[in-house]
Structure 1
Amino acid sequence: MTSSQHVRFAAVGLDHSHIFGQVAGLIRAGAEFVGMATDDPAAAVAVQLRERYPDVPFADDPDELIARDGIDVIVTAAVPDRRGPIAVAALRAGKDVVADKPGCVTLDQLAEIERAVAETGRFWSVTFSERFEVPSAIKAGELVREGRIGTVVQTLGLGPHRIGDRAHLAGGAGRPDWFYDKARYGGILADIASHQVDQFLWFTGAKTAEVVSSSVGNFANPDDPGLQDFGEMLLRSENAQGYIRVDWYTPAGLPTWGDGRLLILGTDGYIELRKYIDIEGREGGNHLFLANQEGTQYIDCSDVETSYYPDLIHDVQQRTTTAAPQEHTFETMRLALTAQENAVLRGAAR
């Protein structure tokens, strides 16, 4: 494909509401939405996506759509355990793949995807939206690269969520059964914490790291032991450390689904992001606080542009990986899955 050719994409796997942002992002970047298919057409997300794009054909057979000629990209937000197989099939059908996180749920699935990428020359991108789609995270990256806080030696990533959040539930429908089945959603560290692993690698500049320790728990939902409602891990690279905590404890009184925060510690200062809310502070989201040798600064990042989806289109056309280096995506999922596999179980977690 050359830069003059139009990028056409199809959505296969419509089970998580992140598909709305993925589809909209690709369309805004200039791609053409040409088809959709899913395992469960009655799922709330699938129904709403069809309502939003009534002119886009719906295929009864996901495999047929994946194999269809004239499609450049397959985007998926299927049930997490289906994302790996969908990606492998799409790669082997000559398509690039954009998958919701987690991109897969086992190390064996990851190995299959790595083989398919190597053998086909296509790319596999996982949409780590808590960096790619958050303007304050983009601005923080710029400041780090400028050396405003010196050398980054640690990140502290917090990813709280709310089980009953309407924005994630396709119009207020209840959480589907797979949400409570670890084998299907992959576990809290593979799922949610993959965001924070991505940020640790990106902001510290690490190419690889090790999982020092990890644990998962179920402390508030004992009647649903398949739900891991708490998780933490400690990462270490050659030059940096990272602590990650994720949970499903966001209280009803908070006016958003989670107080996502990131603290980036450098040798000459630090940056704190309040991504979605500054409780009892400034309105809105995308708040960045900087402290270094020159003083302190607040930056409203709400107008900072994000580039993930335009970069994806460029990558399809030019055969590059500017949206996210392929090895970075592999390493992010390897660490998240390793932490999940080796995690100590606590409380009612199974």
Structure 2
Amino acid sequence: MTTTGKPLKFAVLGLDHAHVLGLIRGLTEAGAEFAGLWSETDTKLSAGVAERAPEVPRVADARQLLEDPSIELVVTAAVPARRAEISVEALRHGKDVVADKPGALTLDQLAEVRAAVAESGKFWSVAFSERTGSRATLHARKLIEEGAIGRVVQTVGFGPHHLRPETRPAWTFDPGLAGGILADIASHQVDQFLYLTGSTSAQVVSSTVGNFAHPDRPGFEDFGELVLRSEQAQGYARVDWYTPNGLGVWGDVRLTILGTEGYMELRKNVDLLGRPGGDHLFLVNGEGTNYLRSDDVELPYFPAILADVVERGDTAIPQELVFTATELALTAQRDANRVGNLR
């Protein structure tokens, strides 16, 4: 809600990744009004969104939404190469922005976003859904704050994904449009490293990208890994496109958090021992070994976004953390060793 008591209005500019469905759902469930959409590509996804929300105006010119003073927030899930440009335009038109990840593909793009945020006084948030949509991750943070595993000294994150190339748009396999695997998928793991270790900065110690399973697509990265180091902790991440069809979910996403007095392992999507659903959390410390559910943990990201728009807060994800996570992922991508079939 706004200070006038009316729902806060948002518009979507760019509907090229299915993550947009979660962004729309999260904002509307938090109380915002979906007030307009524009996409420069006409895909099944953009047509599907229009069909699901026929009352929402679909405009031919993005300026109609950018220049509408009643719209306070812009969401973009455009082709990744366009997200930073769309974000900058929205910021310069006085809109706050929520971008699907990756929010930028190059450090130059990120610098343009930084400048637009500084000039406009508005915020640019990237929806790192493996944290913001994960009750187990938020539960782990609470346990860390309570001292359940002592001081956190390392995170190890695995982000495997199901490719199914026949279901993916052509831009998925064009690194100039989609970015590399570290800029894209590993941004989740970088964000969680900062969030769970309390780090405000870090350095990329090493990074590698590879192509081992798709020699017919020599520009496509199907494997990536990186090592991070901050004053507080160390971090390792591995991401890939190798999830087999038999798993039943899009990826067996795991996160291990090592502390000086214990550790936690999170199985975000599936428990291979057969417990239903996701958000499985295992805690091992001096008191024993425990399996914990996280069903009652609230997901505050989207309500916090709306509050930040109205109250000019910095609570959903602090702006500097968004910048830092994106910069680290892009630096790892830029400096990565290239192995396998990559050309």
TM-score by length of 1: 0.96
Distance in structure 2 (CA, Å) of the matches to 1:106 and 1:271:
34
Retained in 2: the 8 A contact 1:259–1:277? yes
* Number of the residue aligned with 2:260: 267
Structure 2 unaligned regions, length at least 5:
none
Q: Mapping of 1:62-81 within 5 angstroms?
A: 62-81=62-81
* Number of the residue aligned with 1:150: 150
* Number of the residue aligned with 2:206: 213
* The one of 226, 238, 250 aligned to 1:245: 238
How far did residue 283 of structure 1 move?
1.5
Distance in structure 2 (CA, Å) of the matches to 1:224 and 1:61:
35
Q: Mapping of 1:123-142 within 5 angstroms?
A: 123-142=123-142
Retained in 2: the 8 A contact 1:3–1:314? no
How far did residue 52 of structure 1 move?
1.2
Distance in structure 1 (CA, Å) of the matches to 2:113 and 2:170:
26
Distance in structure 1 (CA, Å) of the matches to 2:215 and 2:163:
14
Give the fraction of aligned pairs with identical amino acids, expressed as a percent.
56
* Number of the residue aligned with 1:330: 323
1:197 aligns with 2:190: yes
Retained in 1: the 8 A contact 2:73–2:96? yes
* The one of 305, 311, 324 aligned to 1:318: 311
Retained in 1: the 8 A contact 2:301–2:316? yes
Retained in 2: the 8 A contact 1:67–1:90? no
The alpha-carbon distance between structure 1 residues 66 and 348, as it changes in their structure 2 partners (threshold 3 A), is farther
Retained in 1: the 8 A contact 2:198–2:232? no
Retained in 2: the 8 A contact 1:3–1:317? no
* Number of the residue aligned with 2:8: 7
Retained in 2: the 8 A contact 1:260–1:275? yes
Deviates more, 1:23-32 or 1:54-63: 54-63
* The one of 305, 328, 334 aligned to 2:298: 305
How far did residue 226 of structure 1 move?
2.2
Distance in structure 2 (CA, Å) of the matches to 1:67 and 1:230:
42
* Number of the residue aligned with 2:287: 294
Amino acid across the alignment from 1:229: D
Retained in 1: the 8 A contact 2:13–2:77? yes
TM-score by length of 2: 0.97
* Number of the residue aligned with 1:168: none
Q: Mapping of 1:87-98 within 5 angstroms?
A: 87-98=87-98
1:72 is paired with a residue of what secondary structure? strand
The alpha-carbon distance between structure 1 residues 3 and 191, as it changes in their structure 2 partners (threshold 3 A), is farther
2:327 is paired with a residue of what secondary structure? helix
Distance in structure 1 (CA, Å) of the matches to 2:124 and 2:246:
38
1:253 is paired with a residue of what secondary structure? helix
1:178 aligns with 2:171: yes
Distance in structure 2 (CA, Å) of the matches to 1:291 and 1:349:
40
Distance in structure 2 (CA, Å) of the matches to 1:279 and 1:49:
34
Aligned length: 342
Distance in structure 2 (CA, Å) of the matches to 1:181 and 1:3:
45
Q: Mapping of 1:335-346 within 5 angstroms?
A: 335-346=328-339
Distance in structure 1 (CA, Å) of the matches to 2:316 and 2:274:
33
Distance in structure 1 (CA, Å) of the matches to 2:72 and 2:324:
25
Distance in structure 2 (CA, Å) of the matches to 1:253 and 1:63:
45
Structure 1 unaligned regions, length at least 5:
166-172
Amino acid across the alignment from 1:341: R
Retained in 2: the 8 A contact 1:264–1:270? yes
RMSD: 1.2
How far did residue 81 of structure 1 move?
0.5
Deviates more, 1:87-96 or 1:283-292: 283-292
2:320 is paired with a residue of what secondary structure? helix
